[in-house]
C-alpha cells in the first residue's frame, strides 16, 4: 500500500510524538528510580548515624554498669552492663548489614568491632576479679590509661563514620533535588515538543482527509468504469472472500448457468467446483495471497444443471473491505479439453495400431525366416545331395572329356548352392535371429554386438548384472529391434571406435513395475540437438514409439566430441513372463 506525503508526515509526527512521550516516561522512570535509590541511601545514612550514636551510648552504659558493680559490688549494676553489651552487638550487626557495599565503611566497622571486643574483654576481666573479691585488682584493672585510650579511639572512629554519613546525606539531598528539577524540566519541554508534533500531524491529517475525499470520488468513477468493463467482458470475472463469491460479472454467471443474483446470494464456491478439485482451488487462493503474485491453473466446474465442465483460471489477490480477496478471470475450455482428449485418444490408437503392425511384421518375419530356413535351406541341401549323387555317376561316363565337362558343371552348381545356403541363412537370421528365440535377449545382444564388430571393426564392451532378462516376448523383440537400430546409427553416423552397452535395473516405472534399462554409448562425434529434433530422424522416432508402446521411455543425448548415449527403459513385472534363455 502506498501512502501520500501528508499521510507520511502525519505518521512521522505521531511516531515522533510517541517517541517523545516514551522518552519522557523513560527519563521520569529513571530519575524516579534514582530518586528512590537516593531516598533509600538517605534512610540508610540516617540509620547508620543513629546506630553510631546509639553505639557510643550503649558502650557508656555498659561501662557505667561495670564501674558501679566494681565500686559497690551491687549486682543490680550488671543489668545495664549486660543490656549495653547486647545492644552494642546488635547495633554493630545493623551497621555492618547497611555497609556491605561500602568497603571503606565496612573496614572501619571491623576495626571498631575489634576495639569494642577488646574493651568488653577488659570489662569481663574486671567484673570477674570483683566477683572473686579481688577489689583492688579490679579497680586497678579498669583505671588504666590503656583502657581510656581504647575508649577514646572507639569514640573517634565512630564520630568519623557519623561525619562521613552526614556528608553523604547532604550530597544525596542535593542530588535528589537536582534530579527532581531535571525531571520536571524534561516533562515540560517534552510535552511542549510532543504537542507541537501532534498539532502538525493533525493539520496534515486535515489536509489529507480533504485530498482523500477527492481521491474517493475519482475511485468511484474508476469503479464505475471497471464495472462497465467487467459486465461486458467476454471472460468471467470474480471476487472470492472466505470461499464465498463477493462479485461476479454476467459472463461468470453464464458459464455456470446461474444468474448474477444467484451467485451473489452468499454462494459458496463448493457449489460450482468439482469436489476432487476443491483442494486445488484452496491451495491456489492461498498461494496468490502471499507466496506469488498470480496463479494459472485448470479445474473442473459444475453447472447448475449438474453438467461437469472444464475451466481455466488466472488469479491473484487484492485488498477488498480491508481483507485479502481472491480475484481473477475464468474461461470455459470444455470444447478444447474434449478436442485434446480426442487427439490424445487418436494418438494412442495410432500407437496401438503401429504396435500391432510391428507385431504382425515380426510374426511375418518369423514365418518367412522359418520358411526360408526350412524350405529353401532344406531344398538346396537336397539338391546338393543330388548333385553329389550325379558326381558319382559321372565318374562312370564313357569319355574322359565328357566326364570332365559334367564334373565341372556339377562342381560349379555345388558352389552356387553353398553360396545360396549361406545367403539363405543370413537373410533368415536378419529377419529373425534364431538366438533371440532359442537363447533369449542377453545372448541375442551379445551375438548382435559380435556381428556388429566383425562387420564394422568398432570395438564393443557389454556389461550386465542379469543371468537372463525378465521381459515378455513382445518386449524382448522391441528392445532387440531398438538395439539393432541404435547400432545401425552408430555405424552410419557416429565415427566411433568403441561402443559400450549396459543392461541394468533402475527403480520403478510410474505403473509400479521395475524398469529394465538398456544403455548404449559410443565415443563418436556426438549427436547434435538439431539432429534429434529433425523431422527426418525417423529412425529415432521409430525407436521412441517402440519403447512407448510398452509404457517405456526413450532418450538420446550427446555432446560434441564426447559421443552419444541412448537409454531405453522398459517396465517389467518380475513375476510375469521372462526371457527364456534356454528354450528349445
| Residue 236 to residue 231: CA distance in whole angstroms | 9
Tell me which residue of 447, 456, 411 sits closest to 429, measured CA to CA.
447
- At residue 580, the pLDDT reads 40
Could you tell me whether strands 514-522 and 498-508 are parallel, antiparallel, or unpaired per DSSP bridges? Answer: antiparallel
Query: d(Cα 205, Cα 211) in Å, to the nearest integer?
Result: 10
Neighbours of 574 (CB within 10 A): 9
pLDDT at site 372: 61
Looking at residue 273, the DSSP 8-state letter turns out to be: B
Region for residue 561 given its phi and psi (left: phi exceeds 0; alpha: psi -120 to 50; beta: otherwise): left
- List, in order, residues 6 or more apart from 38 with CB less than 8 Å away: 172, 175, 176, 179
DSSP element (H, E) containing 15: helix 5-72
Integer angstrom CA distances of residue 256 from 110, 134, 269:
97, 126, 11
The pLDDT averaged over each successive group of 10 residues in the chain (584 residues) is: 62 73 72 69 72 76 76 78 80 79 79 79 78 73 65 76 75 73 75 73 71 74 70 83 87 90 86 90 80 82 91 86 83 85 70 60 61 61 68 65 68 69 61 69 88 92 84 83 90 93 77 79 92 81 84 90 92 53 30
The angle, 0 to 180 degrees and rounded to 10, between the axes of the packed helices 78-98 and 5-72 is: 160
Predicted pLDDT of residue 364: 56
User: Rounded CA gap, 5 and 8, in Å?
Assistant: 5
Supply 561's cell numbers.
566430441
The alpha-helical segments, DSSP class H, found in 432-537 are 434-438, 441-456, 473-489, 529-533
**pLDDT value of residue 581:** 35
Q: Give me the pLDDT at residue 574, please.
A: 47
CA–CA dist 402, 282 (Å, integer): 102
Share of the chain above pLDDT 90, in %: 12
HSE, side-chain direction, 13 A CA sphere, residue 535: 0
Which is nearest to 60 in space by CA: 136, 134, 155? Answer: 155
Give me the residue label for grid cell 586497678: 140
Per residue in 204-220, pLDDT (tens digit) is: 666 777 777 777 777 67
Can you give the three-state secondary structure of 125-161, one letter per residue? Answer: HHHHHHHCCCHHHHHHHHCCHHHHHHHHHHHHHHHHH
Q: Which residues of 235-273 are buried (b: 16+ CB within 10 A; e: fewer)?
A: bbbbbbbeeebbbbbbbbbebbebebeebbeebebeebb
Q: What is the pLDDT of residues 263-291, one digit of tens each?
A: 887 889 889 999 999 898 888 888 877 66
Amino acid at each position: 500500500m502506498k501512502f501520500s506525503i501528508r499521510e507520511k508526515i502525519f505518521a512521522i509526527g505521531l511516531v515522533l510524538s510517541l517517541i517523545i512521550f516514551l522518552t519522557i516516561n523513560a527519563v521520569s522512570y529513571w530519575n524516579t528510580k534514582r530518586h528512590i535509590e537516593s531516598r533509600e541511601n538517605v534512610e540508610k545514612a540516617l540509620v547508620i548515624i543513629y546506630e553510631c550514636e546509639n553505639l557510643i551510648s550503649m558502650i557508656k552504659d555498659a561501662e557505667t554498669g561495670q564501674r558501679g558493680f566494681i565500686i559497690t559490688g551491687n549486682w543490680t549494676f550488671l543489668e545495664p552492663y549486660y543490656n549495653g553489651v547486647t545492644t552494642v552487638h546488635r547495633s554493630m550487626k545493623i551497621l555492618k548489614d547497611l555497609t556491605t557495599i561500602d568497603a571503606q565503611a565496612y573496614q572501619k566497622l571491623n576495626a571498631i568491632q575489634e576495639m569494642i571486643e577488646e574493651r568488653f574483654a577488659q570489662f569481663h576481666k574486671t567484673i570477674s576479679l570483683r566477683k572473686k573479691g579481688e577489689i583492688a585488682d579490679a579497680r586497678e584493672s579498669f583505671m588504666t590509661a590503656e583502657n581510656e585510650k581504647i575508649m577514646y579511639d572507639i569514640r573517634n572512629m565512630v564520630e568519623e563514620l557519623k561525619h562521613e554519613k552526614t556528608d553523604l546525606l547532604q550530597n544525596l539531598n542535593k542530588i535528589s533535588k537536582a534530579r527532581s528539577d531535571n525531571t520536571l524540566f524534561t516533562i515540560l519541554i517534552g510535552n511542549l515538543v510532543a504537542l507541537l508534533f501532534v498539532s502538525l500531524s493533525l493539520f496534515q491529517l486535515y489536509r489529507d482527509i480533504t485530498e482523500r475525499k477527492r481521491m474517493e470520488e475519482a475511485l468511484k468513477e474508476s469503479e464505475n468504469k471497471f464495472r462497465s468493463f467487467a459486465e461486458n467482458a467476454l471472460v468471467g470475472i470474480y471476487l472470492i472472500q472466505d470461499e464465498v463469491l463477493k462479485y461476479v460479472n454476467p459472463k461468470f454467471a453464464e458459464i455456470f448457468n446461474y444468474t448474477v443474483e444467484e451467485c451473489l446470494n452468499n454462494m459458496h464456491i463448493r457449489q460450482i467446483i468439482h469436489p476432487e478439485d476443491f483442494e486445488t482451488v484452496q491451495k491456489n487462493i492461498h498461494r496468490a495471497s502471499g507466496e506469488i503474485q498470480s496463479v494459472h491453473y485448470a479445474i473442473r466446474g459444475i453447472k447448475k444443471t449438474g453438467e461437469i465442465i472444464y475451466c481455466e483460471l488466472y488469479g491473484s489477490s487484492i485488498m477488498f473491505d480491508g481483507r485479502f480477496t481472491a480475484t481473477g478471470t475464468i474461461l470455459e475450455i470444455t470444447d478444447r479439453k474434449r478436442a485434446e482428449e480426442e487427439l490424445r485418444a487418436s494418438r494412442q490408437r495410432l500407437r496401438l495400431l503401429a504396435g500391432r503392425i510391428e507385431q504382425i511384421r515380426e510374426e511375418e518375419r518369423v514365418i518367412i525366416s522359418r520358411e526360408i530356413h526350412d524350405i529353401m535351406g532344406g531344398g538346396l541341401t537336397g539338391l546338393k545331395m543330388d548333385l553329389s549323387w550325379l558326381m558319382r555317376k559321372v565318374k562312370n561316363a564313357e569319355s574322359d572329356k565328357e566326364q570332365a565337362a559334367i564334373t565341372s558343371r556339377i562342381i560349379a552348381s555345388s558352389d552356387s548352392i553353398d553360396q545360396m545356403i549361406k545367403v539363405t541363412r543370413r537373410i533368415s537370421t536378419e529377419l529373425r535371429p534364431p538366438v533371440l528365440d532359442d537363447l533369449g535377449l542377453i545372448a541375442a545382444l551379445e551375438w548382435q554386438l559380435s556381428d556388429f564388430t566383425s562387420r564394422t571393426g568398432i570395438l564393443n564392451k557389454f556389461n550386465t548384472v542379469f543371468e537372463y532378462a525378465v521381459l515378455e516376448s513382445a518386449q524382448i523383440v522391441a528392445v532387440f529391434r531398438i538395439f539393432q537400430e541404435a547400432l545401425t546409427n552408430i555405424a552410419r553416423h557416429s565415427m566411433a571406435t568403441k561402443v559400450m552397452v549396459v543392461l541394468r535395473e533402475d527403480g520403478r516405472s510410474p505403473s509400479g513395475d521395475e524398469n529394465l534399462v538398456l544403455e548404449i554409448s559410443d565415443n563418436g562425434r556426438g549427436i547434435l540437438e538439431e539432429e534429434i529434433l529433425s523431422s527426418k530422424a525417423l529412425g529415432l522416432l521409430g525407436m521412441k514409439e517402440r519403447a512407448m508402446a510398452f509404457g517405456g521411455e526413450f532418450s538420446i543425448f550427446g555432446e560434441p566430441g564426447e559421443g552419444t548415449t541412448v537409454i531405453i527403459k522398459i517396465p517389467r513385472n518380475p513375476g510375469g513372463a521372462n526371457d527364456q534363455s534356454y528354450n528349445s
